[in-house]
Structures are given as structure tokens and as C-alpha cells.
Chains A and B, each alone.
Chain A
Amino acid sequence: MANDTDETAVDGPLPVVPFLKGADGQDPYLEGHECGGCGAIFLGERTTCSNCGAMDQMVAKRLSNHGKLYSYSIVFRSFPGIEVPYISAIVDLEGGGTLKGNLIDIEPDPANLSFDMPVEVVFADALGRKDRDGNSYLSYFFKPAA
């Protein structure tokens, strides 16, 4: 017997954020929007640049999967049900764009982390989290690059 969850769930994972494209295919990527006026890069679609004010000059841009660790915190206390510790990382991507995400595949210890260490963007299931309709999600993560 089908339940409500099955009826409303869609095929394939949904993107964890709107700027993660191709979540249900073989080639997921992160998309920025670059201002034709000043070059500022935004995450997600928009029409007006909040840096220079240019209108209708945003161009979609595939963001790099390579970047460098800009800053971080190691989170030991979070909300109930959230597994700790984990590394909350700020990463500057090659060619522009800055993202926040979890840095995985490395012990969360300051001794292991150095500013500007190379990291790579990887795509994987969103830690098993599902929405109320039972949909699963594809998320992005950072891991140390070789």
C-alpha cells in the first residue's frame, strides 16, 4: 500500500541549495552568477548586482570544484540531533566565488588544518537527511585535495 511519502517523493535526489545544478544526473556542479558590470560573483540567481547596482547583466557561471581553505571553525556544540564535531569551512574557489560547507575526510583538529590548504568540492547524499515528503538531497562537501 502506497503511503503519502511515496506519492509525493520525486525520482532522484533534489539539490540541497538552488545553486547546486544537475543533482539528479552524472555531472552535478555549483553555479554562480557573475556581474557583467563589476565581476562580483553571487550564489543563486538574481537580476541586480548588490556591489555596483548593474541590472540584468548577471551571467551564469559554472564554479570550480577546486579551492583553498580561507577560514574555519570546529563545531563541538550544535543543535540537538546534529553530529559533532565537524569543521565549518569557508572556501575560496579557483576563479572566484566563496562557499561555506563541511570539510570532511580529515580529523577535526586545528593541528590538521592550515589556511590556504587546497580542498576539492565533492557531491554526496546530504547525510541521510530527507524532507517531509521523503525526498533525499544531494549536497556538496569539501575534502582535502591531494
Chain B
Amino acid sequence: MGKVRTAAETLRVRSGDVELAVNLYGSEKNPVVVLVHGYPDSSQVWHKAIPLLAPRYRVVAYDVRGAGASSAPKATAAYALEHLVADLAAVIDAVSPDRAVHLVAHDWGSIQSWEAVSTERLKGRIASYTSISGPSLDHAGYWIMQRLRSGAPGEVAKVVNQLMHSWYIGAFHLPLAAPLAWKMGMDQLWPKLLERMEGIREDTVPTQARDGQHGLKLYRANFRERVFSPRERRTAVPVQLVVPTRDRFVSVELLDGLEQWVDQLWRRDVAAGHWLQLSHPELVARFVSEFVELHEGGSESASLRRARVSGGNKLKHAGKLAIVTGGGSGIGRETLLALAEQGAEVVAVDIDLTAAQRSAQLAGLLGATAHARKVDVGDAQAMEAFAGWVAETLGAPDIVVNNAGIGMAGRFLDTGTADWDGILRVNLWGVIHGSRLFGRQMVAAGKRGNIVNVASALAFAPSRMLSAYATTKAAVAMLSDCLRAELADQGIRVTSVCPGVIDTPITGSTRFVGVAEEEQARRRDGARRLYGRRNLKPKAVASAILRALDSGEPEVLVGTEAHGARLLSRLSPALSRRLARMELAL
């Protein structure tokens, strides 16, 4: 599919009666990466990923038997897994006789590669295996059996769900219909189908009809036997599982529990469809590069480290990266710690580096990998530099909590331009920068992440005493509402958090405009006492945020006063406006 790229070199490799077409790219000196395509594709399916990999690796892409420029045996039996493994072995022997190769495979290529990494034939010849969207049929067989035997309704439902994803496999077993479809012009229709179903624009490939027809034999030769009488298939080869979570053909659950078969397993979920190498070629290239580097003796990247699957009790946010602004104190610190406790790698961002470092230290005590950065969230350049650092060293985040904020109280007419600049910079621009920079990173990385923006109950409860603060928070709530709509298609959830009266250090630094310095201190003290009496702790907000990460609630209210104010704003805006005129004595 796609534009036919002339290979740097081509090779014909014999495997039994079959001749395989092999294309090679990049320098011979580099580590060898072998790409195995799926059904109904040919090696052309890698055309976007190859140019990204070739500068660093010796890239080998071949057409499996029955596809592209390789020969196509007639007998269905010739498509059994053992022959496919023999083909792969022949290719590896030809292109890299002395050095173990890194295998990257998709769909049926991945199914046959599972066989390759778990049988004796290629022992010691494969250094690493990146599997995209193709389970081992034997593992799938065990997966189905284990769940059906458990008899638990939830587990059985997972099997039913997978079988519904696999409707086409049944169709492929129908004697005439499927081959006929390819003969009748489905090859011409295929690019349109791809575009309709997956949003992928590809040109027609001349061999598509032939690839489609012969490839059906892959299913017919292997599926029934392997799935219904599975063999134990274990491997010591390190496996990186790349899981497109919107795959129409493989359900995500099918890949759960793989660690029972694989000694060293990494797993990366991407909110994308089945053909990841076409929809997200840069991402596939990055995943492959990081994995190959690690197994060529390099270091483990931060995102790869998070992707490691361990057999033990999995914490809810294990493997995720969370960024919390204003993470040095109050709600930010408690949220950071709650995330750390649930297994996330965390980055504490604060204008006060010592405070951020302290939060990171505490997160470390809870077992998390933690980082501290000094960033002024209102400074566009500083935020861009910070986002760049995150992308470079840690990878795109899964959770971003835009929490940093400052307090301000006093009459609107006493609030000067500088006051406005100051509070808008932190409370609004900080959220804008954080949402924009990290939202982009999440989309690019196919992360179904969460953006949490900390607003306030004052976002919908006007008050004559807090015009500047309430205005910034209302803006944050509206920004979140709009952003939620925009990112819904990507599966990124946006939550605005509206706490009531929370006893946080913000009361100690709130600026009271229009009053003398000594009066500032007195009012801060008054506010502190009031908030202290309410005794609602930042921990309560952190718990609410953690719950919202699970439920995806669009708006989280914390404290009865927040619920009350919300209700009032809906039921009786007139009363809400009336209350806004009240002056609270602090």
C-alpha cells in the first residue's frame, strides 16, 4: 500500500519451495531490525516507518509467503505457522548470519513472530521483539479457556467481547465468500474501507487482491487448531507489546496476563486503531528505537521503564507519568503524593524549587520515581522549555494537574492593572500553557490521558470581595469545558476541580488589594483562622481528583459549600447574585 518506495537493496531468499522478497535499508553496520507485516498487507505497510528507522538501523522488510512479491503456495497447509517461522529464519540467516536481530511485527506478522520467539528454531537469533496488534494464538487459546473456566460473568463477557472483535475470522473460514470478495474488486475498495474505518489514507497496491486471497489461508491453516488446542508458549526474548486501544480486530483485554508466558515484558497502550505504523509512524519508530537501544546495551528510557510489566499487584496508576503544577504545597502536593502512592511517576512543578524537591522526596518515600522542577507556570517560554524537557527525558505525560494558583481578595475598583496581570498570569495563563503544551504531547503520543484543571467553587459563586480570583477561576472552568469537547475524540479527559474552603498555604500568601501592609497581615490571619475552622484539608481535594481520574467526571466539587454554591447558581442565580453583595468580615 502507499507509494512504492524503491528499496536500497533487494534480495530473494529461498525457504523450501518458496521464494521470499526481501528489502533492505540503511547501513549494514547498524543493528538489524526485521519488520514482519500482517494481513491483508505486504511489506509496503511499513513505508512510513522505514525512513524513520533506516538512519539508525539496518532495516529488513520482507513479504511473507502469499503476499507482495513473494511466491504464494497453493495448498492451505503450506501456510501453517511452522512454515512461516522457517521463512523468518531463512530471512534472518540471510541478512544477519552472526548477529541476533530485533523483530518488529504487526497483526499476522506478530502472530507468527510469537511462534518464532517461543520455539527452538530461532533460539538466540532474536534479541528483542516488538509486537503490534497480534497475539500468540496459543496465548489467546489459553486466555479464552482460563476465562471460560473461571465462570465469572465479567471474565466470560471479555471472551464474548473478543469474539465479537473477531467476527471476520469466522467469515474468513467460509469456503467461497472471502476469496470471492477479493476477486470481485475488494482490492479497489480496500483503501476506501481503510479510510472509512481507520482514517488512514493509502493508495491501492497492485498485489492487494492476491495478498487478500492468499492470506486467508493463514487463518484457515492455523486458527482452529491453535486456539482450540493451545500449547504452552513461553519466551525468554524481551517483548515489547504495543497495544492500539481502538483496535477493531483485537480487544485490549486479550493481552492481559501475558506476563505468565513472557519473562521480560513491556506494554505500551496507544489510543489508535489497528494500523499504528500508518497512523502513528513516528511513535512506532520511537518505541522500536527505545527498545532496540535498551537491548543493544543502552539505557532504559523513562517511558520504557514505566511500561515494564511486573507480575505483582499492579497499582492503579503504575506506568503513568503525572505532572502537577504548584506541586510544592497544599492541594498540589497532596495530589502528587496520592498519585505517587498509586504507582505513578511524578513531576512536582513549583516556583519554589525547595518545596517541589521536598514533594518529590516524599513521593520517593512512597516508592515513586519523582522529579522536581522550578517553573513559573505563567511564563510561556519557561513552560515551553519545561514541556520540551518532559518530552525529551520522560515522554508524554498521562496525567497533568494544572493546580498552581495565587490568591487575591479585595474590591474590583482597588484592583490595579499589575494585580490583574499577576493573577491572570498564574491562574489562567498557567492553565492555558499546561493544557496546551501537554495536551499536544498527549495527542501526538496517542495517550488517553487526563488533564485536571483546579478551578474553585468561586468559578460559579460571584463575590464582591474576590472579583479577580473568581474571574480567573471561572475562566479556568470554561477553558476546561471547551477543551473537554475538543479532546473528547482523542479520548483525553478534561476535569475541572472546584474546591470550597480548603485550608491550604494559599491563605498565607493571598494579596488583599486596597489595604495597608499591616492590615494585609491581619486579614491573612483572619482568612487562615476561617479556613482553619472549616478544616477541609487539601487531602480531600486530592482524593476527589484521584476519584475523578477513574470516573472521568467533567466537574468535581469538593466541600458542602461548593455543592451548595453550584446548586444555587443553577436553581436561583438571582439569590446567588444577591449573596455576592455580602461582605464577609475577615
- Are A and B a genuine interacting pair, yes or no? no
Interface residues in chain B, defined as those with a beta carbon under 8 Å from any beta carbon in chain A = none
